Structure 1
Amino acid sequence: MATDNLTSTPTLMQNQTAEPALILSLNNVEVIYDHVSLAIKGVSIDVPQGAMVALLGANGAGKSTTLKSISGLLRPERGLVTRGEVQFLGQNIDALAPQERVKLGIVHVLEGRRVFEHMTPDENLVAASAVRGTRQDMLRNKDMVYSYFPRLHQRRTAQSGYLSGGEQQMLAIGRALMTQPKLLMLDEPSLGLAPFLVAEIFDIVRRINKEEGLSVLLVEQNAIAALEVVSHGYLIENGRVVMHDSAEAMKKNPDIQEFYLGGTEGRSFHDIKHYSRRKRWLT
């Protein structure tokens, strides 16, 4: 008797529709500062391996706190994850110190272009490489950084404190790449930079993502620039995620257009004033 092949169909369909593996997952994370101030309230975020994801929101919304809950930098600021869990490559990392998270492959580029100003770019890169890897790794990674940021190679012997804001931001990202990360977290990389520099840096980050397979979590107030380079975005307000969608869908959302992409033309002041009462994504 002939047998049919229907039994193999579910497996094939499951393979076709399988979700991409997650490199990072925040599950209902809550952070409190000084045992009193609730900074983020049940935040859940997923970053697929090899993806670029944006966390958008106004100043003070909880974006930087979310990144620090991942990198482990809350404790120096008297912050604490009091609920939920942070998973990296399927491992709960809540109990790990910041340096242990770096060794796992998590790197956090802090807001404000923090580099060693008294050292040259070349010395900054070498210093960052001490976190992990061999001398051969250091030389290879430095060549990679200079290939993505040729301007840094041109200024490699200058004192870093005399670099422009854009060059310092490139150096901060370059230092992060020297740790051989699997997840690159960028906190407000566009802050204080001219639009053409923002576009240049974001384009380089997108190239690194595609060519190196590096996962990126990008925190930004500049939603216009961020949504041009990421695949998905999360919108956080008052410590809560209030929207999650593809970048294309978020760009088309009328409320996102109005309040985060500058599309206020034709809207009355009365509508804008009562925005908090009428957010469609919270209903």
Structure 2
Amino acid sequence: MSLLSLNNVEVAYDRVFLAIKGVSLEVGEGAMVALLGANGAGKSTTLKTVSGLLAPERGEVRRGQVTFRGKDLLPLSPPERVAMGLVHVLEGRRVFGHLTPDDNLLAAYPGRGAQSSFESLRDQAYAYFPRLAERSRSKAGYLSGGEQQMLAIARALMTEPRLLMLDEPSLGLAPVLVKEIFSIIRTINREQGMSVLLVEQNARAALDIVEHAYLLENGSVVMSGSAADLKQNPDVQEFYLGGGETADYHNVKHYRRRKRWLA
């Protein structure tokens, strides 16, 4: 069953620049889906379309439908969308550096609208990220980059989401930390049945944990399928997984690939 659905969505900034063009995708209940592509492909814009964070950047949905649990999301404010069960972990972590991890988690706790107590959700978050429990009284600004990313995800879990959207969680992290964080995300998905929509440039790491993926180029979905199928695709191998010949990426092969995909 589809939890999140985008149907032919078009988003423009300043009523001029088309950032995404007719994007359609689905995330099922309990599914893990990746949204792959290069810088500027429209991945972050797609997440902001779902979470309702386009307006501060002067973006708007020009056409198309976005539904979550069968309900139209577009008329709803960002807090209303969070209350419905979706949460967006923004690129760059954005933790409150002057607060402790405990206080960061408390800041995200919805209070009376929560199904579980703060202590229960905090303990669950620290069980997934034991490093944070060890640093619970430190200022978040003094945590390492990996620990801050863990805190950003843990803070999102305090809203008890049904859909966790992650924007570039591997950004700036060492491979060993990326592997650890992605493993924890997979564990959360399996134990809680929580759906995950993962935006990543690290295609190899993303395809190792998701079941399905969409590839964006120039604001359009140019390829989709199972993670296994995309791993085997020669274009994906050459341009996103580091395989194939190391030819001139920006000239002949790149031109031919995009011409074929966008035809």
RMSD: 1.6
Matching residue of 1:50:
30
1:151 and 2:105 are equivalent in the alignment = no
Partner of 2:14: 34
Give the equivalent residue in structure 1 for 2:66. Answer: 86
- Structure 1 residue 67: Cα displacement: 0.3
What is the distance in 2 between the residues matched to 1:225 and 1:24? 23
Q: 2:46 aligns with which of 34, 50, 66?
A: 66
Q: How many aligned residue pairs are there?
A: 262
Larger radius of gyration: 1
TM-score (norm 1): 0.89
**For the Cα contact (< 8 Å) 1:103–1:132, is it kept in 2?**
no
Point out where structure 2 has 5 or more consecutive residues left out of the alignment: none
Aligned counterpart in structure 2 of residue 277 of structure 1, from 220, 237, 256: 256
* Letter matched to residue 232 of structure 1: H
Amino acid at match of 2:65: E
After superposition, the C-alpha distances for 1:118-177 in whole angstroms (9 at most, x for unaligned) are: 000011001110366459521111111000000000000000000000000000000000
**Given the alignment, which residue of 235, 238, 257 partners 1:255?**
235
User: Do the aligned partners of 2:100 and 2:137 also contact (CA within 8 Å) in 1?
Assistant: yes
Deviation at 1:277, TM superposition (A): 2.0
CA–CA separation in structure 2 for the residues paired with 1:66 and 1:75: 13
Alpha-carbon distance change, 69 to 271 in structure 1, aligned in 2, over 3 angstroms: closer
Amino acid at match of 1:157: R
Identity of aligned residues (%): 65
Q: Which moved more, 1:272-281 or 1:186-195?
A: 272-281
Shift of 1:270: 8.2
Large movers: runs of 4+ above 4 Å: 279-283
Cα distance change, pair 53–131 in 1 and its aligned pair in 2 (3 A): farther
Q: Structure 2 residue aligned with 1:98, among 54, 78, 88?
A: 78
TM-score normalised by length of structure 2: 0.96
> Which of 217, 232, 238 lines up with 2:212 in the alignment?
232
Structure 1 residue ranges without an equivalent (≥5): 1-20
Give a deviation string over 1:62-107, Cα, whole Å, max 9, x none.
Answer: 0000000000000011000010010001111110000000000010
Check whether the contact 2:98–2:140 (CA below 8 A) recurs between aligned residues: yes
